């Protein structure tokens, strides 16, 4: 019997939907299973369902317990993975990405104790977690994994165009070229980058998006000060959630921390004001 | 229209209602609709209705009743003779007429009454009809006071007679379809409804020589009406409660006679916020000197919006070509170019400017379906489930809104309402 080659599907496709408070777009190119985009969408919606604080979710249930100072078991696997990833990234972000940061309370990740074996969380004082600045990258990582598992080798995933993950190479070969405009002057380009099987996250304290009513202010962990300087951070990393956490950390970082966070990697911080000239790190 | 055409439009209307209400979620949310649409018993003797009040609305109701399969107008009553004469063209010759509703009740020969009189008459007319052993169909709003609304409910319960209130949106395929799409999660979690009924006219009717202003323009006087609240807002408050699946917890409001300073007593501008559990809100305005925004309930969810009066549903994602989608086209052409991201298209939280998709209109009349449903309820002696609960809460909400505006205080939802 002659073995039949698996059918080569050259289907491209787009899925657009609303999740995590933003427009999500998934673009796939070339071979892979027919239902790959659907699986990727499901992966993102599962993260949204678990981490949202805008409707009842595993995250809101967790927050309720932690605000009451109760120790609690985390049954939701997505929420649990998120907590573990955030915990593991504390060194990477110099503790500057902190989902407990709250301008009203001087709380911090140090107040959170995770028992990874028992899958339990406890706090030393009441805190609530907000997964903004993490969730989009985390969700795109999971969607990218779903696409890879479905045999897709070229895809672009975007959440609100501020979190991007690309799977593999550009369909025409090589990297995926992106231009990032100045959020205050969109006609001006801050930087041009190429991604290859990588993720990118853009955070900014200014621009159209920051005017959205439900956007939380950027808060510096530790002293809980609100960052008001006009800044835009762009981070490229293998992992979407790392890129996301790092770009958030850069926005609140002090000068010496900026140098440590950006050292040698494709991580950029632009100070957009008060001086006209954008400062580029690295 | 021939009888056959009529049957076809009726059938297609009812099919829309049945389609919109199919499934467990919808039959739980709208138990009355499928029952009314399933009324299929012509010929077994029609339910005989005596209509009290043959003014504008009463005559519209009479025409609708004439189209039903299971109801007929068996008597009409109005204190104002010219309105009896106007109504007679729509009823069979020889249909008894009365100037006093008690005389009509005493004359017997009725199964139920239909009340389309000024608001402050509804309670008395209902009570008298229940006392005469009849079922009652009464126009919204229920009564002039919250206490009278409750008394009507209790009386129908005690006398085991049906009380149905004229909230026709509950039978409208567009509204039913909108609710079905809400239940299916299409617009996400509803956190706010912004509703308005804006008109640009005085709302004042000309007074014929043989009548007087207070009788003709009863809507403008506090003794007989709460004005915009009971005459217009009730409909939309019913929609609000229905779509938010709750009653308000509290209402704040401000009312004024701002433009038509013509001796009227009711506000010509009302603005209210009804709060619902979980921080949800129903924001309402009604006024009489600007019609730009008309009549609408903007039902706002995290994923989209529905405007049922317009029959439109909008998704939060505007389907416009963005930079990323342009990339798809580039790739097809074998062209690789830098994708500009962020900037103006960075966040999508902009007003949705797309025209939206149609929810679909029914050409046929929901008012008629209300009566076919009522006819079935009278025959079985069992009210269509869910309807009175909606109506009672809508009337209470409208009257509580009036009180909040009068007092200039936020008022909490009353305790001690009658349980339905
Ligand atoms: N569901 C709807 O969409 C809708 C639309 C319009 C009106 N309505 C309701 O219908 C009712 C009537 O409104 P309308 O616009 O027809 O008012 P209208 O003034 O045109 O008619 C009221 C009629 O009742 C008669 N009447 C007054 N007192 C009476 C009495 N004691 N006995 C018998 N008849 C009496 C009047 O002579 C008049 O003919 C109101 O409750 C109104 O809210 C409902």
Query: For residue A64, what pLDDT is reported?
Result: 92
Q: Residue B361 pLDDT > 50, yes or no? A: no
Considering A13-22, A257-266, B139-148, the range whose residues carry the highest mean pLDDT is: B139-148
DSSP string, B354-415: S--EE----SS-HHHHHHHHHHHHHHHT-PPTTHHHHHHHHHHHHHHHHHHHHHTS-EEPPS
pLDDT over threshold 90, residue B92: yes
Cβ neighbours of residue B6 under 8 Å, at least 6 residues apart?
A: B67
Query: In the prediction, which pLDDT does A220 show?
Result: 65
Chain B's closest residue to A17, CA to CA, is B317
At A91, the pLDDT band (50, 70, 90 cuts) reads very high
**How far does CA B58 lie from the centroid of its chain?**
16
* CB burial of residue A11 (10 Å; 0-12, 13-18, 19+): middle
pLDDT of residue A103: 53
Going from the C-alpha of A59 to that of each of A50, A79, A215, B94, B303, the distances in angstroms are 6, 7, 18, 71, 20
Query: B77 CB under 6 A from ligand 1?
Result: yes
Residue bearing the bigger pLDDT, B379 or B356: B379
- Count Cβ atoms below 10 Å from residue A213 Cβ, excluding itself: 5
Residue pairs spanning A and B at CB distance below 8 A = 99
Measured between CB atoms, which of B317, B323, B346 is closest to A183?
Answer: B346
CA-to-CA distance for B418 and B219, rounded, in angstroms?
A: 27
Q: How far apart are CA A142 and CA B87, in angstroms?
A: 69
CB A135 within 8 A of CB A51: yes
Model confidence at B362, in pLDDT bands (50, 70, 90)?
Answer: very low
Residue B345: its pLDDT value, please?
35
Q: Check CB contact under 8 Å for A202 and B347.
A: no
Residues B166, B155: Cα–Cα separation, whole Å:
18
Q: Which residue has the higher pLDDT, A280 or A92?
A: A92
Query: Cα separation of B195 and B281, whole Å?
Result: 11
d(CA A106, CA A111) in angstroms, rounded, equals 10
Q: Return the structure tokens found at B191.
A: 């956190």
B59 CA from centroid of ligand 1 (Å): 9
Q: What CATH fold (topology level) applies to the domain B4-169+365-386? A: Rossmann fold (3.40.50)
Q: Which residue has the higher pLDDT, A138 or A19?
A: A138
Q: Is the CB of B128 under 6 A from ligand 1?
A: no
Cβ contact B344–A186 (<8 Å): yes
pLDDT reported for residue A230:
82
Give the chain B residue whose CA is nearest to the CA of A179.
Answer: B340
User: What pLDDT is recorded for position B342?
Assistant: 64
Residue-level pLDDT at A206? 72
Q: Residue B1: which residues within 8 A CB-CB, separation 6 or more?
A: B9
**Predicted pLDDT at B115:** 98
pLDDT over 50 at A279, yes or no: no
Ligand 1 neighbour B375 (Cβ under 6 A)? no
Q: In sequence order, what are the beta bridge partners of B98? A: B77
Asked if B337's CB is within 8 angstroms of A172's CB, the reply is no
Q: Do the domains spanning B4-169+365-386 and B171-319+351-363+394-412 agree at the CATH topology level?
A: no
Compare A206 and A179 and report the one with higher pLDDT.
A179
Contact flag B341-A180 (C-beta cutoff 8 Å): yes
Q: Do B347 and A209 touch (CB under 8 A)?
A: yes
Q: What band does B334 get if pLDDT is binned at 50, 70 and 90?
A: confident
How many Å lie between the alpha carbon of A16 and the closest alpha carbon of chain B?
8
pLDDT (0 to 100) of residue A219: 62
Please, which pLDDT band fits residue B354 given cuts at 50, 70 and 90? very low
Average pLDDT taken over every residue of chain B: 90
Closest residue by Cα to atom 7, ligand 1, is: B57
Q: What is the mean pLDDT of residues A39-59?
A: 93
Enumerate residues 6+ apart whose C-beta is below 8 A from B310: B296
Whether A106 shows a pLDDT value over 90: the answer reads no
**Whose CA is closest to B251, among B223, B284, B209?**
B284
Highest mean pLDDT among A14-28, B65-79, B310-324: B65-79
Average pLDDT over residues B66-76: 93
Among B80, B87, B105, B118, which residue has the most ligand 1 atoms within 8 Å of its CB, making it the best to mutate? B118
Which pLDDT band, with edges at 50, 70 and 90, does A223 fall under? low
**Half-sphere CA count of A156, side-chain side, radius 13 A:** 28
| Cross-chain Cβ contact A209/B344 below 8 Å | no
B102 lines ligand 1 (CB under 6 A): no
Distance, in Å, from the CA atom of A260 to the CA atom of B414, rounded to the nearest integer, reads 61
> What is the pLDDT, as a whole number, of residue B142?
98
In this predicted structure, the answer to whether residue B289 has a pLDDT above a threshold of 90 is yes
The pLDDT score that the predictor gives to residue B311 is 80
Q: Which of A209, A207, A256, A280 is nearest to A96 (CA)?
A: A256
CA atoms within 13 A on the CB side of B107: 20
Contact A158, A143 (CB under 8 A): no
Note the pTM of the prediction, 2 decimals: 0.67
The answer to whether residue B363 scores a pLDDT higher than 80 is no
The H-or-E segment that residue B167 falls in is none
In this structure, are residues B314 and B302 in contact, taking their beta carbons and an 8 Å threshold?
A: no
- What does the pLDDT read at residue A231? 86
**pLDDT per residue over A182-215, tens digit each?**
877 777 889 999 999 999 999 888 764 443 333 4
Q: Give the range among A198-207, A215-224, B280-289 with minimum mean pLDDT.
A: A215-224
CA dist., res. B128 & res. B107, Å (int): 13
Calculate how close chain B gets to A1, using CA atoms only, in Å.
37
Model confidence at A84, pLDDT cuts 50, 70, 90, reads very high
DSSP-assigned letters across all residues of A76-115: -HHHHHHHHHHHHTTTTTTT---TT--SSS---GGGEEEE
Mean pLDDT value of segment A204-232: 60
Cα of B333 vs its chain's centroid, Å: 54
Mean pLDDT of chain A: 85
Q: How confident is the model at residue A100 (pLDDT cuts 50, 70, 90)?
A: confident
Chain A positions in Cβ-Cβ contact with residue B334 (cut-off 8 Å): 172
Query: Residue B1: pLDDT above 90?
Result: no
**Contact residues, chain B, for A156 at CB < 8 Å:** 324, 327
The DSSP H or E segment spanning A36 is: helix A36-51
Three-state SS at A252: helix
- Which pLDDT tens digit goes with each residue over B182-201? 998 989 999 999 999 999 99
The class that CATH gives domain B171-319+351-363+394-412 is: alpha beta
Does A2 score more than 80 pLDDT? no
pLDDT digits (tens, 9 = 90+) for B2-34: 777 777 788 888 888 888 898 899 999 999 998
Average pLDDT over residues B405-411: 98
Q: What is the pLDDT of residue A18?
A: 87
**Residue B236 pLDDT exceeds 90:** yes
Which of B95 and A9 is assigned the larger pLDDT?
B95
Task: Average the pLDDT over B54-64 and give the result.
Answer: 94
H-state helical runs in B30-117? 31-37, 56-67, 81-88, 101-106
Contacts for B5 with CB less than 8 Å, ≥ 6 apart: none
The helix/strand count (H/E) of chain B reads as: 15, 16
- Per-residue model confidence as pLDDT tens digits over B238-258: 999 999 999 999 999 999 999
pLDDT of residue A194: 96
Q: Which residues pair with B234 in a beta bridge?
A: none
Closest Cα to residue B356, out of B318, B309, B303, B301?
B318
- Asked whether residue A274 carries a pLDDT value surpassing 70, the answer given is no
Cα(A184) to ligand 1 centroid in Å equals 60
pLDDT at B376 over 50: yes
Domain map of chain B by residue range? 4-169+365-386, 171-319+351-363+394-412
Q: What is the Å distance from ligand 1's center to B299 Cα?
A: 30
Mean pLDDT of A137-146: 98
Task: Say how many C-beta atoms besides its own lie within 10 A of residue B337's C-beta.
Answer: 11
ipTM: 0.75
Q: How far apart are CA A281 and CA A258, in angstroms?
A: 8
> Do B253 and B414 contact (CB within 8 A), yes or no?
no
Which stretches of chain B sit within 8 Å of chain A by CB? 188-189, 302-303, 315-317, 319, 322-325, 327-328, 331-332, 334-349
The rounded percent of chain B whose pLDDT value lies above 90 is 72
Q: Tell me: pLDDT of A273 over 80.
A: no
Confidence of residue A217 (pLDDT cuts 50, 70, 90): low
């Amino acid at each position: 019997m002659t073995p039949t080659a698996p059918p080569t599907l050259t289907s491209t496709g787009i899925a657009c939907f609303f999740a995590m408070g933003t427009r999500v777009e998934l673009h796939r190119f070339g071979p892979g299973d027919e239902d790959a985009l659907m699986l990727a969408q499901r992966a993102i919606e599962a993260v949204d369902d678990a981490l949202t604080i805008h409707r009842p979710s595993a995250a809101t249930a967790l927050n309720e317990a932690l605000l009451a100072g109760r120790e609690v078991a985390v049954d939701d696997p997505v929420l649990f993975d998120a907590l573990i990833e955030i915990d593991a990234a504390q060194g990477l972000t110099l503790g500057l990405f902190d989902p407990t940061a709250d301008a009203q309370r001087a709380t911090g990740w140090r107040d959170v104790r995770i028992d990874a074996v028992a899958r339990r969380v406890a706090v030393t004082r009441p805190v609530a977690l907000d997964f903004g600045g993490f969730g989009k990258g985390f969700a795109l990582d999971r969607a990218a994994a779903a696409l890879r598992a479905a045999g897709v080798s070229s895809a672009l995933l975007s959440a609100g165009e501020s979190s991007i993950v690309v799977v593999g190479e550009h369909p025409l070969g090589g990297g995926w070229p992106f231009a990032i405009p100045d959020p205050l002057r969109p006609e001006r380009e801050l930087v041009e980058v190429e991604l290859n099987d990588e993720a990118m996250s853009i955070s900014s304290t200014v621009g159209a998006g920051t005017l959205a009513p439900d956007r939380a202010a950027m808060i510096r962990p530790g002293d809980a000060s609100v960052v008001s300087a006009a800044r835009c951070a762009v981070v490229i990393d293998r992992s979407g959630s790392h890129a996301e956490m790092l770009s958030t950390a850069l926005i609140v970082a002090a000068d010496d921390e900026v140098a440590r966070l950006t050292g040698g990697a494709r991580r950029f911080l632009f100070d957009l004001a008060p001086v006209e000239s954008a400062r580029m790190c690295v | 229209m021939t009888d056959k055409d009529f049957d076809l439009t009726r059938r297609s209307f009812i099919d829309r209602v049945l389609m919109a209400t199919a499934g467990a979620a919808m039959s739980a949310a709208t138990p009355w609709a499928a029952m009314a649409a399933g009324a299929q018993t012509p010929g077994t003797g029609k339910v005989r209705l005596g209509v009290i009040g043959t003014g504008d609305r009463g005559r519209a109701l009479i025409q609708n009743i004439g189209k039903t399969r299971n109801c007929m107008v068996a008597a009409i009553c109005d204190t104002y003779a010219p309105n009896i004469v106007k109504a007679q063209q729509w009823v069979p010759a020889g249909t008894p007429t009365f100037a006093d509703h008690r005389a009509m009740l005493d004359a017997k020969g009725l199964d139920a009454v239909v009340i389309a009189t000024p608001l402050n008459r509804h309670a008395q007319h209902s009570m008298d009809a229940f006392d005469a052993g009849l079922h009652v169909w009464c126009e919204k709003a229920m009564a002039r006071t919250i206490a009278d609304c409750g008394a009507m409910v209790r009386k129908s319960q005690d006398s085991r007679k049906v009380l149905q209130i004229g909230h026709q949106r509950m039978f409208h395929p567009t509204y039913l379809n909108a609710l079905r799409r809400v239940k299916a999660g299409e617009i996400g979690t509803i956190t706010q409804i912004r509703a308005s009924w804006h008109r640009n006219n005085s709302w004042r009717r000309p007074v014929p020589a043989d009548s007087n202003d207070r009788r003709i323009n009863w809507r403008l006087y506090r003794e007989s009406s709460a004005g915009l609240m009971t005459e217009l807002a009730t409909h939309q408050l019913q929609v609000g409660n229905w779509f938010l699946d709750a009653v308000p917890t509290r209402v704040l409001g401000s009312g004024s006679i701002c433009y038509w300073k013509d001796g009227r007593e009711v506000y010509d501008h009302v603005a209210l916020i009804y709060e619902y559990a979980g921080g949800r809100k129903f924001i309402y305005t009604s006024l009489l000197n600007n019609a730009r925004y008309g009549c609408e309930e903007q039902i706002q969810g995290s994923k989209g919006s529905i405007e049922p009066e317009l029959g439109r549903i909008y998704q939060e994602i505007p389907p416009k070509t963005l930079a990323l989608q342009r990339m798809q086209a580039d790739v097809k052409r074998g062209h690789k170019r830098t994708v500009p991201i962020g900037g103006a298209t960075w966040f999508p939280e902009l007003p949705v400017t797309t025209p939206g998709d149609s929810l679909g209109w029914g050409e046929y009349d929901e008012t008629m379906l209300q009566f076919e449903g009522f006819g079935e309820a009278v025959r079985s002696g069992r009210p269509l489930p869910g309807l009175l609960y909606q109506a009672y809460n809508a009337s209470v909400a409208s009257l509580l809104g009036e009180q909040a505006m009068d007092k200039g205080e936020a008022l909490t939802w009353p305790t001690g309402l009658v349980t339905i």
